[in-house]
């Protein structure tokens, strides 16, 4: 029985309708319910013990539920919102959606740190021995890596360059090293900025031995962890790295979100594709082929950006908070199921 389920069996505090049962019936029903729900015995085993048919056992158990003799409670840790999680998963057709309670003191802040802790536990569930885990740059993925305490043996590869090469040791590179250390697998970091001045410089860097070796693993990634940014200061790495004129140019194209240096409009269509030529990052088509892509993003201000990226079909699972989830549940018409992995551009 799942540890998140608690079965309360009581013959003394049954509801009014249960009191219509005679005392012998109550005692027998409580005993059968205890055998079935708490001790894990089968209906056949219970029938043999009490000398009745298994059909009688089934009727007694059903009556015990109907008359409140047995109460079944589904419980999850207080910080997880199971109802919102299931509703969000269904709305976007995700494989997994985990909604965490938003910290009261940080409702307006993007990506609360507790998202990283929950994402670390989720990755420990999703990653299998021998997998290739890809980590993209982002505050949330850095928080996730710092919270990792268990991971099956796997190879870990960095999927993007870093926001600032001077802080690589405290950012994506360290996240990759941390995940590899926990898993006991090989690490393939990328010591390069995410955004370069021009396409020629980016191409030259991609051909460097260490970076090229990491790029060779992109098509082998089985689980990826990414962040999502809104197109505004402080909430998008790419936005903050660009000059003012460039920001205005991409804004004119309708940018609503960015993920791993890929830009999306509100419908999940990719825009500003020329930017990718200047970036050290995994390609969008490669992300689409990865079996499991987990996005970590939260905060009310990121709601529209999360919605846009989910509509792109690149993400299969999401770790977010209640502030963002409440926005997402009412964000325009229901999107196509994310697990279809279709490209909104049709190319």
Domain range annotation of the chain: 23-67, 80-340
Q: Which helix (H) or strand (E) holds 142?
A: helix 139-147
Kindly list the distances between the CA atom of residue 81 and the CA atoms of 77, 84, 97, 122, 320, in Å, as whole numbers in the listed order. 8, 6, 10, 15, 10
Cα 173 from chain centroid (whole Å): 21
Copy the structure tokens of residue 35: 């055998």
- Of 338, 308, 307, nearest to 325 by C-alpha is 307
Bridge partners of 134, per DSSP, are 157, 224
Q: Which pLDDT does position 322 carry in this prediction?
A: 92
263 touches 250 (CB < 8 A):
yes
**How many other C-beta atoms are found inside a 10 Å radius of the C-beta of residue 332?**
11
**CATH number at 23-67:** 1.10.10
What fold does the segment set 80-340 form as a domain? Rossmann fold (3.40.50)
User: Rounded distance, CA 284 to CA 273, Å?
Assistant: 10
Bridge partners of 251, per DSSP, are none
User: Rounded distance, CA 90 to CA 85, Å?
Assistant: 9
User: Rounded distance, CA 229 to CA 111, Å?
Assistant: 10
Sign of CA dihedral 280, 210, 134, 338: positive
236 touches 230 (CB < 8 A):
yes
Q: What angle (nearest 5°) sits at the alpha carbon of residue 325, between those of residues 322 and 327?
A: 115
User: Rounded distance, CA 176 to CA 178, Å?
Assistant: 5
What is the pLDDT tens value at each position of the chain, 347 positions in all?
A: 334 444 555 443 444 444 456 667 788 888 898 888 888 899 999 999 989 999 999 999 988 888 878 877 666 555 788 889 999 999 999 999 999 988 765 555 566 778 888 999 999 999 999 999 999 988 888 889 999 999 999 999 999 998 764 444 456 788 999 999 999 999 999 988 899 999 999 999 999 999 999 999 999 999 999 999 998 887 777 888 888 898 899 999 999 999 999 999 999 999 999 998 999 999 999 999 999 999 999 988 899 999 999 999 999 999 999 999 999 999 877 777 766 666 777 54
3-class state of residue 159 by DSSP: coil
In terms of Cβ atoms closer than 10 Å to its own Cβ (0-12, 13-18, 19+), residue 214 is: buried
Q: Which pLDDT does position 19 carry in this prediction?
A: 44
Non-local (6+) Cβ contacts of 307 within 8 A are 266, 327, 328, 331, 332, 335
């Amino acid at each position: 029985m799942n540890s998140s389920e608690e079965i309360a069996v009581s013959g003394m505090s049954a509801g009014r309708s249960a009191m219509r049962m005679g005392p012998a019936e109550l005692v027998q029903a409580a005993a059968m319910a205890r055998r079935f729900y708490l001790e894990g015995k089968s209906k056949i085993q219970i029938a043999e013990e009490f000398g009745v048919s298994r059909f009688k056992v089934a009727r007694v158990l059903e009556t015990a539920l109907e008359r409140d003799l047995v109460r079944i409670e589904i419980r999850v840790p207080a910080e997880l919102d199971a109802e919102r999680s299931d509703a969000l998963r269904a709305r976007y057709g995700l494989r997994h959606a985990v909604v965490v309670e938003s910290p009261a003191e940080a409702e307006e802040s993007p990506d609360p740190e507790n998202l990283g802790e929950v994402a670390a536990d989720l990755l420990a569930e999703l990653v299998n021995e021998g997998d290739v885990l890809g980590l993209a740059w982002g505050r949330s993925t850095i928080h996730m890596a710092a919270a990792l305490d268990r991971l099956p043996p796997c190879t870990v590869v960095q999927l993007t360059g870093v926001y600032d090469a001077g802080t690589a040791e405290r950012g994506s590179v360290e996240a990759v090293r941390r995940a590899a250390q926990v898993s006991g697998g090989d690490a393939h970091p990328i010591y390069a900025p995410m955004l370069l001045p021009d396409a020629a410089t980016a191409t030259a860097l991609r051909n460097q031995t260490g970076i090229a070796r990491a790029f060779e693993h992109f098509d082998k990634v089985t689980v990826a962890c990414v962040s999502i940014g809104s197109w505004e200061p402080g909430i998008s790495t790419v936005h903050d790295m660009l000059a003012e004129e460039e920001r205005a140019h991409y804004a004119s194209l309708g940018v609503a979100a960015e993920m791993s240096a890929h830009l999306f409009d509100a419908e999940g269509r990719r825009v500003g594709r020329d930017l990718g030529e200047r970036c050290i990052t995994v390609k969008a088509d490669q992300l689409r082929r990865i079996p499991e892509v987990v996005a970590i993003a939260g905060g009310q201000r990121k709601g529209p950006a999360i919605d846009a990226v989910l509509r792109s079909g690149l993400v299969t699972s999401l770790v977010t908070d209640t502030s963002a989830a409440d926005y997402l549940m009412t964000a325009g018409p229901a999107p196509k199921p994310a697990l279809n992995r279709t490209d909104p551009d049709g190319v």
